[in-house]
Amino acid sequence: MCIRDRSFNIAQHSYKSTDIQVPIIFGYKVLGPISLFAGPTFKYNLSNSSNFDLEELKDKYNLSILLGTRVKVRSFSVGLRYERGLNNNELLIINANGIDLDNDEINSFFSELMSGEIDASLASSILIALKIKKPSDNEVFYASEFLLNSINTYESDLHLIDLCGTGGDSKSIINVSTISSLILSALNVKVAKHGNRSVSSKVGSADLFESIGINFDKNIEEAIESIEKKNISFIFAPNFHTSMKNVINIRKTLSTRTIFNILGPLINPLRPKHQLLGVYDEELLETMGKVLIKQGVKSGMVVHSLDGMDEISICDKTHIFEFNNGEYKKYIFDPQEYGFKLGMLENLVIKDIEESKKILIGILNGSIKDEKRDICILNAGASLYLYDDSMDLAESFEYVRCKLEDKQIFNALKEYMDLT
């Protein structure tokens, strides 16, 4: 039995607790000097204090699981142990009374998190607490700005747009944002496509770009050069946000969505002024839209379809948060009102990269004219509408459709891509 004091600070918020701990450990000698041990640890909270309004902890009694191994050689022994608590006491630090972290607090937390200096269990508690509380648009904005300010970013004079989603819709459909980005680039729209490997589908942006011979730009200079030459750059997130490696293990251990699942589309190092952003949850629409406005994005849409996609759907209606120069509106988009026939979601599902590339080529060369083409027309057209304020939505959809049908887009792209 032992008495343990715990304390931590997040900017001006501090917390301290004192617990009695009673471990019950069972050991097993595996081989020679190597043994394993495991067992429960019973805890009772004696006291806790903080410098902000914190309700009394509900979980006075707590249980944790202890696992470990030990190697003993003569009078010396070395051991490793892992302990996982099963209560939510730490979560109350942020969740109590709906506390929102301010800019300094977010910077303090993310600074320690991205440098790997913070204790993993504490970081996990804070991330889960933010998830339960639901991050405010200010918290997400502060976090995105911290990550952007920690790398080399570039606000160019180029008229840029990004099509990127949070992923996480688990639909495994064709990569709509990538195909739409390629279509736009052939229409002289300058695209800064921020992306990664697959999250919610079997093929991610990076996989599809690789299959058609488009290189990943390694730095800002290469990205700008690609845009000036080809109207498109693929900004592979791990090449720019290298400190993300320090949170990989924490995210894997948690095995649940956290604030990091929504930060990806918000940290494009080229800081485009127009954006079509898909989210995996309707509740994120307004939060993400307001973050984009705070970031200085001039026009954008945040979308989530009724059938669960982080795209504008061809198979159902879509919730849209649209903004222009700080003014925003929320509405439901119905593709049927623009002359589109509703498709079947199962016809959008792909198995692998080979099928994905085949569908891309079919859409571009005109051999595919079903819902797979139409969902790309919807998302490319909506992006063109955001980029070029001389056209309304209907005109943008028709313009993209016509350019696909006369193969102008295919002919433009095959000059520097492998579309065979």
Contact 283, 134 (CB under 8 A): yes
The answer on 128 and 188 residing in a single domain is no
pLDDT tens-place string over residues 268-286? 999 999 999 999 999 999 9
pLDDT tens-place string over residues 286-345? 999 999 999 999 999 999 999 999 999 999 999 999 999 999 999 999 999 999 999 999
Predicted confidence (pLDDT) at residue 128 exceeds the cutoff of 70: yes
pLDDT tens-place string over residues 133-143? 899 999 999 99
Does a structural domain hold residue 184? yes
Average pLDDT score over the chain:
86
The answer on 166 and 124 residing in a single domain is no
The answer on 189 and 129 residing in a single domain is no
Looking at the chain, the whole-number percentage of residues with pLDDT higher than 70 is 85
**Measured distance CA(106)–CA(140) in Å, rounded:** 9
Task: Give the structural domain span for 105.
Answer: 2-133
- Tell me the angle at which helices 353-365 and 371-387 cross, rounded to the nearest 10 degrees: 70
Does a structural domain hold residue 147? no
Contact 258, 251 (CB under 8 A): yes
- pLDDT band at 381; cut points 50, 70, 90: very high
CATH number at residue 308: 3.40.1030.10
Question: pTM, whole model, 2 decimals?
Answer: 0.78
The answer on 409 and 342 residing in a single domain is yes
The answer on 331 and 199 residing in a single domain is yes
Predicted confidence (pLDDT) at residue 27 exceeds the cutoff of 90: no
pLDDT tens-place string over residues 82-92? 666 655 444 44
The answer on 169 and 76 residing in a single domain is no
Does a structural domain hold residue 419? no
Number of domains in the chain: 2
Does a structural domain hold residue 192? yes
**Measured distance CA(161)–CA(300) in Å, rounded:** 9
Predicted confidence (pLDDT) at residue 97 exceeds the cutoff of 50: no
- pLDDT band at 57; cut points 50, 70, 90: very low
